[in-house]
């Protein structure tokens, strides 16, 4: 019996199988978060550290775990330092909240007394929008997410250890079990690793540069807790399109509270310009081109992972999208779906 043609040349049976897999996958992602999220993080870390680990292994020799252990120790040390520093900044910000609240009340009183052609400004909406509690809850939620990830890093390390051990023998087992598909499977693995490394290196470079410039601007204008806001800027930049813009909201709100009106407008202009220059000009030059993913698809995927796993899911959403698209491209039956997800699909595929 011949299969009926489905959407974009994909057979209806293939579409049905994909739908079932997606449904089961969504249920597993939501209800098995405690297991799946550390496994996903461990897999992505493995893809990231594999090239430098292989380079290090060639030079120091010994068991592969030695090279991986050195790199993982460096990652753990960085996370420990960053999380502790952000937590201390968060504590200091909470302690100084009463003083900042007084500055906010003085600024609101000044606006209420300001008269422009006999018209007095209504600050009722402003008092609900610009509050110390808003900035505090935003920063506390982000620092809490980072702290939660650091706490669960032991589980990530356990998964990473088994992935490293399995990586040495997995190609042989795949070749023995699926001799006809071994080339395709290894191509997906290699393509996924290359795509994730390219994305992370490019994004980290852009995020670091943007965070450094933002820190210089904030320091020059005496915005308190520069390290906290610069760290949030760096990490939020890994969320495409919206992360960088969201990261500048807390320092802008603080600027509106502690700075004169003209200076706060300058702060807004500099932070927005910094984000646009790094994201719109420098990043495409570093990457050669943006990810070959439709912007609306990326936004939907980021929204889904944010709903499922919070901020950590939004950060992991793009690397997972890269793996998904490479996997779909590797099979002729699902290649049309991959082309629909692309921003500029190649016509010779």
- How confident is the model over 66-88, as pLDDT tens digits? 778 888 888 777 777 777 777 77
Q: Say how far apart CA 191 and CA 169 lie, in whole Å.
A: 19
Nearby residues of 314 by Cβ (< 8 Å), 6 or more positions away? 239, 243, 302, 305, 306
Span 286-326, pLDDT tens digits? 654 456 677 788 788 888 888 888 878 888 888 888 788 87
Contacts of 218 (CB under 8 A, 6+ apart): 226, 229, 230, 251, 267
Summarised one tens digit per residue, pLDDT across range 177-220 is: 777 777 777 777 777 777 777 788 888 888 898 999 999 999 99
Between helix 182-220 and helix 33-60 the angle, nearest 10°, is: 90
Contacts of 175 (CB under 8 A, 6+ apart): 182
Residue with tokens 């320091």: 219
pLDDT of residue 119: 59
Task: Report the DSSP beta bridge partners of residue 119.
Answer: 116
Q: What is the pLDDT of residue 213?
A: 92
Indicate the domain borders of the chain: 30-341
pTM: 0.71
Statement: residue 36 has pLDDT above 60: yes
Distance from C-alpha of 280 to C-alpha of 278, rounded to nearest angstrom = 6
């Amino acid at each position: 019996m011949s299969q009926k043609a489905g959407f974009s040349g994909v057979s209806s049976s293939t579409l049905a199988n994909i739908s079932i897999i997606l449904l089961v996958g969504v249920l597993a992602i939501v209800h098995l978060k405690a297991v799946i999220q550390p496994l996903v993080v461990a897999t992505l870390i493995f893809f990231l550290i594999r090239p430098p680990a292989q380079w290090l292994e060639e030079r120091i020799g010994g068991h592969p775990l030695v090279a991986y252990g050195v790199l993982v120790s460096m990652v753990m040390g960085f996370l420990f330092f960053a999380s502790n520093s952000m937590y201390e900044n968060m504590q200091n910000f909470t302690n100084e909240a009463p003083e900042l609240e007084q500055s906010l009340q003085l600024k609101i009183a000044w606006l209420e007394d300001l008269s422009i052609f006999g018209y007095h400004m209504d600050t009722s909406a402003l008092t609900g929008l610009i509050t110390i509690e808003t900035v505090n809850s935003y920063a506390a939620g982000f620092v809490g997410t980072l702290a939660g990830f650091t706490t669960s890093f032991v589980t990530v390390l356990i998964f990473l250890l088994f992935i490293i051990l399995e990586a040495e023998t997995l190609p042989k087992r795949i070749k023995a079990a699926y001799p006809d598909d071994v080339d395709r499977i290894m191509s997906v693995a290699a393509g996924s690793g290359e795509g994730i490394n390219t994305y992370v290196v490019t994004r980290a470079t852009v995020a670091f540069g943007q965070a450094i410039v933002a820190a210089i601007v904030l320091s020059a204008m005496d915005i308190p807790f520069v390290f906290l806001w610069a760290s949030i800027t760096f990490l939020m930049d890994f969320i495409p399109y919206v992360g960088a813009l969201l990261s500048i909201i807390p320092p802008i709100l603080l600027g509106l509270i502690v700075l004169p009106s003209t200076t706060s407008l300058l702060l807004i202009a500099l932070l927005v310009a910094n984000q646009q220059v790094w994201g719109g000009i420098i990043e495409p030059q570093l990457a050669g081109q943006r990810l070959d993913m439709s912007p609306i698809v990326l936004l939907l995927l980021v929204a889904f992972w944010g709903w499922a796993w919070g901020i950590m899911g939004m950060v992991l959403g793009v690397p997972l999208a890269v793996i998904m698209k490479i996997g779909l491209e590797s099979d002729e039956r699902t290649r049309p779906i991959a082309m629909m997800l692309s921003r500029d699909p190649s016509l010779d595929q």
